C-alpha cells in the first residue's frame, strides 16, 4: 500500500512531465531544430531495419509452419521432403514477387524520365492516426523533405522529414495528405485525400459529365505539389450529390502500404 503523500507526489511529477514533454514538442517543431530532430530519428534506423528484415524472415518461417500444419494428414515418410519443397516454393515465390516488383520499379524509373533513389521501408508510424513510413535513405543520399515517393505501381506519398540516413514518408493514406488528380475517362478534376481504410476523392461537377467506377485517378500536376501523370488508384465507388458542387468517390489505391517493402524517391522534383 502506498503512502498518503503518494497522490500529491504523483500529481507533481505528472504536471512536471506534461510540461516538459509539451515544451520539448514545441521546441523540436521549430525549423531550427529540424536537423537535430532528423539526426535523432536516424539513430534508430539501423535497429528498425534489422527488426523489419527479421520480421520478414519470421513471416516466411510462419508461412512454412502454416503449410506444415495443413499437411499433417499426409504420411510420415513424405512430410520431411514436402516441408523442404514447400519452403523452397515459399522462398521462390517471395523472390519472384520481389523480382517482379523490382522490374516494375525499374520500368517505372526508365519510363518516367525522373531521377530516383530506391529505398527500403524500415518502419511504420506507431499510431493509427498518421499514416507514415520510415525509409533507409536520407539527406546523405540526396533525399530531402517535400520529395515525391512512388513505387512501380504509382504514387505512394511524400518525404516529410529527412535525417542523414533515414527519412519519414507521409503516405497518401495520411489524413493530411492531399493530391490533385484527374480521372482517366471523364477527365473530371478533383482532390484526393487520405483516410484510415481507403482514399477519398472530391470530384468537381461538370455539366453533362459524371465519374464512373473503374476510372483511373492520375495526378494532374495542378498546384505543383506532384508531377503530372502518376497513377494513384482506381475509382471503386462514386456517390453523386445533387445538392453539392462536388461528388464523392472512394478510390482503391494502387499501393498497399502493408505489403510495400521498397519505394522510389523522385529526387529531381520538388513542390513549387
Partner 1 sequence: MRRVAGLGLMSAAALAQATWAPRFEVGGAFPNLVLAAVVGLSWTLGTRSALVWAVAGGLLLDLTSSGPIGPHALALLPGVYVSGFWIRNLEHPNAVHVALTAAVCTVLYSAVLVLADDLLGTALPAPGAAVQLTIAAAIYNAVLAPFAYELVRRLQSLVRAAPQTS
Q: Give the binding site for partner 1 (CB under 8 A).
A: 1-2, 6-7, 9-11, 13-14, 17-18, 20-26, 28-29, 37, 40-41, 43-44, 47-48, 51-52, 55, 122-130, 132, 134, 160-161, 168, 170, 174-176, 195-197, 258
Provide, rounded to whole angstroms, the least separation between the CB of residue 206 and partner 1.
Answer: 26
Provide, rounded to whole angstroms, the least separation between the CB of residue 197 and partner 1.
Answer: 5
As a whole number of angstroms, the distance between CA 194 and CA 131 comes to 9
Provide, rounded to whole angstroms, the least separation between the CB of residue 193 and partner 1.
Answer: 9
| Of 105 and 159, CB closest to partner 1 | 159
Nearest to 189 by CA among 150, 228, 161, 158: 228
Provide, rounded to whole angstroms, the least separation between the CB of residue 51 and partner 1.
Answer: 4
DSSP code for 209: B
**CB neighbour class for 145 (10 Å; exposed up to 12, middle 13-18, buried from 19):** middle
CA 265 distance to own-chain centroid = 12
Contact between residue 135 and residue 263 where contact means Cβ atoms under 8 Å apart: yes
| Of 142 and 145, CB closest to partner 1 | 145
Locus of grid cell 524472415: 57
| Of 159 and 232, CB closest to partner 1 | 159
Provide, rounded to whole angstroms, the least separation between the CB of residue 62 and partner 1.
Answer: 11
| Of 128 and 208, CB closest to partner 1 | 128
| Of 152 and 163, CB closest to partner 1 | 163
**CB neighbour class for 239 (10 Å; exposed up to 12, middle 13-18, buried from 19):** exposed
As a whole number of angstroms, the distance between CA 38 and CA 76 comes to 55
**CB within 8 Å of 109: residues ≥ 6 apart:** 116, 264
Amino acid at each position: 500500500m502506498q503512502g498518503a503523500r503518494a497522490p500529491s507526489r504523483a500529481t507533481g511529477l505528472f504536471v512536471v512531465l506534461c510540461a516538459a514533454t509539451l515544451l520539448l514538442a514545441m521546441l523540436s517543431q521549430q525549423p531550427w531544430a529540424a536537423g537535430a530532430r532528423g539526426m535523432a530519428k536516424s539513430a534508430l534506423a539501423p535497429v528498425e531495419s534489422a527488426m523489419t528484415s527479421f520480421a520478414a524472415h519470421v513471416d516466411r518461417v510462419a508461412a512454412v509452419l502454416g503449410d506444415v500444419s495443413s499437411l499433417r494428414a499426409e504420411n510420415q515418410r513424405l512430410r520431411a521432403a514436402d516441408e523442404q519443397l514447400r519452403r523452397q516454393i515459399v522462398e521462390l515465390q517471395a523472390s519472384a514477387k520481389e523480382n517482379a516488383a523490382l522490374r516494375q520499379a525499374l520500368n517505372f524509373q526508365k519510363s518516367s524520365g525522373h531521377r530516383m533513389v530506391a529505398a527500403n521501408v524500415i518502419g511504420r508510424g506507431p499510431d493509427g492516426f498518421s499514416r507514415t513510413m520510415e525509409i533507409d535513405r536520407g539527406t546523405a543520399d540526396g533525399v530531402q523533405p517535400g520529395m515525391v515517393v512512388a513505387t512501380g505501381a504509382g504514387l505512394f506519398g511524400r518525404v516529410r522529414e529527412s535525417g542523414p540516413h533515414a527519412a519519414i514518408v507521409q503516405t497518401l493514406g495520411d489524413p493530411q495528405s492531399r493530391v490533385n488528380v484527374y480521372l482517366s475517362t471523364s477527365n473530371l478534376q478533383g482532390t484526393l485525400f487520405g483516410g484510415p481504410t481507403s482514399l477519398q476523392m472530391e470530384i468537381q461537377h461538370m455539366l453533362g459529365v459524371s465519374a464512373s467506377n473503374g476510372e483511373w485517378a492520375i495526378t494532374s500536376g495542378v498546384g505543383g505539389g506532384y508531377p503530372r501523370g502518376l497513377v494513384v488508384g482506381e475509382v471503386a465507388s462514386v456517390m453523386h450529390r445533387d445538392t453539392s458542387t462536388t461528388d464523392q468517390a472512394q478510390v482503391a489505391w494502387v499501393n498497399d502500404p502493408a505489403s510495400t517493402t521498397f519505394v522510389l524517391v523522385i529526387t529531381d522534383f520538388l513542390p513549387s
